[in-house]
Amino acid sequence: MPGFGIPGITGTILLIGSIVLAWIQYGAKVGLGMAVCVTALVGIVVSVSLRSLNSGKMAKSEFVLEGTEENNNTEERARIQKLVGQEGVALTALRPVGLAELTEGRRNVQSDGEFIEKGAKIRVQRVSGTTVYVKRV
């Protein structure tokens, strides 16, 4: 939920503190009544917030992402798979990770553990997830 950091933690501590103080000051019945009221109010607020997030004003807000990361990763993986076999040049030393210039542009790449110096010719060997593995040509 937005703003749960310091304000949310402080609010939670203050709610619990008010229940404890009511319990000490006025007895168990009042303390228990406060605990039930606070729990009910928190439940109602969370329920309304979740409903609004799914179908209300919040769902139309620019702060709520619509796409899923799974779809984005699938497209990215398909695009990266086309790199296998391409050759390029190491723009930085690969120890084992670094930057390379491939035909599709600059990309972070990783060697299979060997050191590859800057300026060396490389070839994409395989792709695992979104990690591109290269080998010196």
What confidence tens digit (pLDDT) does each residue in 19-44 have? 999 999 999 999 999 999 999 998 99
Sorting pLDDT into bands at 50, 70 and 90, what band is 75?
confident
pLDDT at 93: 94
The CA dihedral of 33, 36, 42, 47, to the nearest 10 degrees, is -140
- Cα distance between residue 121 and residue 56, in whole Å: 55
Q: What is the mean pLDDT of residues 58-72?
A: 61
Q: What is the DSSP letter of 129?
A: T
In the predicted model, what is the mean pLDDT of the chain? 85
pLDDT greater than 90 at residue 124: yes
Q: What's the rounded mean pLDDT across residues 5-30? A: 91
pLDDT band at 104 (very low <50, low <70, confident <90, very high): confident
Task: Identify the three-state secondary structure at position 127.
Answer: strand
What does 57-124 look like in DSSP terms, one character per residue? GGGGSTTS--S-HHHHHHHHHHHHHTTTT-EEEESS-BSSEEEEEETTEEEEEEESS--B-TT-EEEE
Measuring CA to CA, how many Å separate 113 from each of 49, 116, 126, 136? 49, 9, 14, 11
Q: What percent of the chain has pLDDT over 90?
A: 52
Can you tell me the distance from the alpha carbon of 129 to that of 127, in angstroms, rounded to the nearest whole number?
6
**Contact in structure between 116 and 90 (CB atoms under 8 Å):** yes
More confident call, 59 vs 120: 120
